Amino acid sequence: MAIKKSDLYSSLWASCDELRGGMDASQYKDYVLFLLFIKYISDKYGNSEDFAPPVIIPAGSSFKDMIALKGNAEIGDKINTQVIAPLIAANAKLARSDFPDFNDPNKLGEGKDRVEKLSKLIGIFQNPALDFSKNRAEHDDILGDAYEFLMRHFASESGKSKGQFYTPSEVSRILASVIGISPKNTKGATTAYDPTCGSGSLLLKVAAQAGKHITLEGQEKDVTTAGLARMNMILHDFPTATILSGNTLAAPKFKDGESLRTYDYVVANPPFSDKSWSTGLTLGDNGEDDAFQRFSWGVPPPKQGDYAYLLHIIRSMKSNTGKAACILPHGVLFRGNAEAVIREQLVRSGILKGIIGLPANLFYGTGIPACILVLDKENATARAGIFMVDASKAFIKDGNKNRLREQDIHKIVDTFTRQIDTARYARMVPRSEIADAKNNYNLNLLRYIDSSAPEDLQDIDGHLRGGIPERDLDAFAADWQVFPGVRAALFASAGRPGYASLKLPIAEVKPAILSHSEFTAYHQSVTALFTKWRKAITPRITAFAQDDHPKELIHTVSEVLLAAFQAVPLIDAYDIYQHLMDYWAAAMQDDAYLIAADGWVQGAQAREIVQVKDKNSKLIWPELHDYALGKRRFKSDLVPASILVAKYFASERAAIDALDAQIALLEQKLDDMLEQHSGDEGLLNEVIEGGGDKQKITTKAVKARLKEIGKDPDYADEHRALTAYADVLDQQGTSKAQRKADQEALDKKIAAKYLKLTEAQIKTLVVDDKWMAHLSAAVQGELDRVSQILTGRIRELAERYARPLPQLINEVATLAARVDAHLRRMGAVWN
């Protein structure tokens, strides 16, 4: 049975992180990622019968050969000489600088310490779930995704100065989407280039968006990071990609003759504000000496290299059709002097198609806000404006970083590609407005898009004379379009134009909204829409089968859901979409990969849970929704026992729940009796064991005391108290015994049922009772939020203007008179 993707990734990271010890994450990642790489190529190409396999694995250089070195006193040197060296010699695209030194005492320690550390590290990747000898990676992407998972975690751990090798995948996906690449406009000869490619994630996202094996080329200054990129390409099944090392600005490696090679698509995340960008360059006063004519619009400042990379990108785009997207710090939009001169030329050229402002603190190398500049040479001279998107406020906190959610990514891409003007978010800005003297080619998004939330204004006249300002109620125009009768039912005129009064007590507002026929009709229409989507998409989900592609499944399901809710008023379709994507990440994805690996029936079978002991050697069972057979615990990841029980054994579960309630009541009764008869001269003092919160009475102690006092009339009261306590103890014991028997019987029924489940039954349990039940609850939650937001604001406004100034003055006067009267009665004179 396949292991869950999330479990595999998290266990990989936990094991690697545990072994890291004192080594910096930025260095340790090289060892971990190399092992993942060698494991992948060994499984996929080790026994290849192709005439010219993309990667050649020489005899003695596979992952199995590394396993054989575990425990060897010379393990580090042998990995270097017997595995890495032959691999490099057999594959021209690999270099020694791509791989770490496995015999480095400064990083790995010496002697036994090094042997143990490397042996354990190799052991991590012996996980059976990482077996790709049958080429499962063709449809699974599990190793490529694991590589990205580990890189993201290492980037997060590496700190600001060393985390720049990785562009967050969420941002990479935006760049790949906004340049317009798709299966419809690409072929094998389509070219994509990243001049500062880091670990290659941006290029791979472009390739994924293209949907076919296009030509990928990239250059990276750091030789170790370039090695990561080469491995990343192979792990994602792009062994033909070309990644070269070197300084892109001073010594670009991709040339046609003496000119820069030009590409269909260029993407980049250059180092922000590179202070040494001009090192090795001969430019002249106006850039005329640059061998590649990149600086005809001007030479960037010596300590600010952002525009140097941008000008290199523009020069690397095909002359009439090239498209590009580049991540740069927000300062490029408004900084002055030499950059202002270049920026004006950029705007005048028409090449700048759009700007997307991103939230701060997204990147691992810096916390400053960044933006995406989208460039397009096609029809540049006819371009009359620049489409601007301010997405700086759309994110979620993720530890000490900010992260774009799935809905944020989708909304940015939809808005940009469709050029949708959206209040406080996006608009097409005419070039004439940018060129106007008041702006003077300053591209700061705040000049063109006011993304701030509307100010909540206090109404002076409302405070003076009472009444809720109609202006505040009009802010809910969208609600009143759907619920016009609700507004009429809640509000009446306050006796003067522009102000309203609440007809009902505040406590009755929410019930009035929820029970109103218009809200009921709206609720029913949204529920019906979800039901319609569910009915339409279920055949696609239930048709999903072994060896199918989970990523294609969620793409289809999510896009249909988003489209279904686009026209629904008051609910943001992207919020509904996010609920689905969150659930996909939390549960559905693992389920889909289990089905893709094992099929519905095999995937639903319960597996035995390994016993786990805590730090005190106490046996614990870490997973929920399990059932027991004796001392063994079982769990089905695809069909949790809770869902199976709810469907087939509801009466048995109800009986156990009733016993639990009865046991709890008896426990409370015992506690009450103990409290009543303890303390000084308490009737149960002789049988109480322990002290404080740990006081207890056992059946054995009660029986012994009853035997001891017999029927002595001097102990009649104690005898009655002990007998009563013993009766409750007996009842509790009987209930617990019955509960244990019932649970054991239910567990046996559960075990038997798992073995008898048909594929149709499993699909119903998973799709209807698990997935769709969760999503239905999420939609209901969004409906509840509509009423909560409206009710909350009405309450706030009603309370704000409930007591006008004259009333407050009268109340103060009344209270002052009462205080004065009290003082006089006490003989005090208040002046």
What is the model's pLDDT at position 326?
A: 97
610 pLDDT higher than 90: no
State how far the alpha carbon of 202 is from the alpha carbons of 98, 169, 261, 369, in Å: 19, 8, 19, 19
Give the Cα separation of 480 and 288 in Å (integer): 64
pLDDT given at position 617:
57
Q: Which helix (H) or strand (E) holds 170?
A: helix 169-178
Q: What percent of the chain has pLDDT over 90?
A: 58
- Reported as a pLDDT band with limits 50, 70 and 90, residue 162 is very low
- Residue 784 pLDDT > 90: yes
Confidence bin at 613 (pLDDT 50/70/90) = low
Percent of the chain predicted with pLDDT > 70: 91
Q: Indicate the angle between helix axes 406-418 and 169-178, nearest 10 degrees.
A: 20
Q: Which long-range contacts (CB under 8 A, 24 or more apart) does 110-116 make?
A: 114/75, 114/76, 115/71, 115/72, 115/73, 115/75, 115/76
pLDDT per residue as tens digits for the range 46-67: 776 666 777 888 989 999 999 9
Closest CA to 162 of 34, 30, 366, 26: 26
Q: Which helix (H) or strand (E) holds 39?
A: helix 25-45
- Asked if the model's pLDDT at residue 624 lies above 70, the reply is no
pLDDT band at 22 (very low <50, low <70, confident <90, very high): low
pLDDT-derived band at 78 (thresholds 50, 70, 90) equals very high
SS3 388: strand
Q: Which stretches within 268-357 are classed as H helix? A: 306-315, 338-349
The amino acid that residue 745 corresponds to is: A
pTM: 0.85
What confidence score (pLDDT) does residue 139 get?
41
pLDDT-based confidence at residue 819 (cuts at 50, 70, 90): confident
- Bridge partners of 327, per DSSP, are 372
Q: Note whether 772 and 479 are within 8 A (CB).
A: no
Q: How far apart are CA 10 and CA 456, in angstroms?
A: 45
Local structure of residue 586 (DSSP, 8 states): I
Is 80 exceeded by the pLDDT of residue 101?
A: yes
pLDDT in tens, 277-287: 988 888 877 87
Compute the mean pLDDT over every residue in the chain, rounded to the nearest whole number.
88
Residue spans of alpha helices (H) in 46-74: 63-68
Identify residue 653 by its one-letter amino acid code.
R
Lowest average pLDDT, out of 501-515, 548-562, 813-827, goes to: 813-827
Reply yes or no on whether the pLDDT at 138 is more than 60: no
Pair of tokens at residue 516 = 């109103």
Lowest mean pLDDT among 152-166, 420-434, 609-623, 697-711: 609-623
597: burial class by Cβ within 10 Å (0-12, 13-18, 19+)?
Answer: buried
Report pLDDT digits (tens) over 175-189: 999 999 999 999 889
Q: Is the pLDDT of residue 402 over 50?
A: yes
Q: Which pLDDT does position 31 carry in this prediction?
A: 82
| Residue 798 identity | A
pLDDT at position 137 over 50: no
Position 42 scores a pLDDT of 86
Read off the tokens for 122.
């190799």
Q: Worst-scoring range by mean pLDDT, 530-539, 673-682, 715-724?
A: 673-682
- Poorest-pLDDT segment among 210-219, 359-368, 606-615: 606-615
Per-residue pLDDT of 716-737, as tens digits, reads 888 998 999 999 999 999 999 9
Strand order in the sheet with 632-635: 607-608, 632-635, 627-629
Say yes or no to pLDDT of 198 above 80: yes
pLDDT digits (tens, 9 = 90+) for 205-235: 999 999 889 999 999 998 888 888 888 888 7
What pLDDT is stored for residue 135 in this prediction? 43
CA–CA gap between residue 266 and residue 218 (Å, rounded): 10
| pLDDT (average), residues 527-531 | 97
Which runs of consecutive H residues, i.e. helices, occur in 257-392? 306-315, 338-349
612-613 and 619-620 beta bridge pairing: antiparallel
Run of H or E residues at 245 = strand 242-245
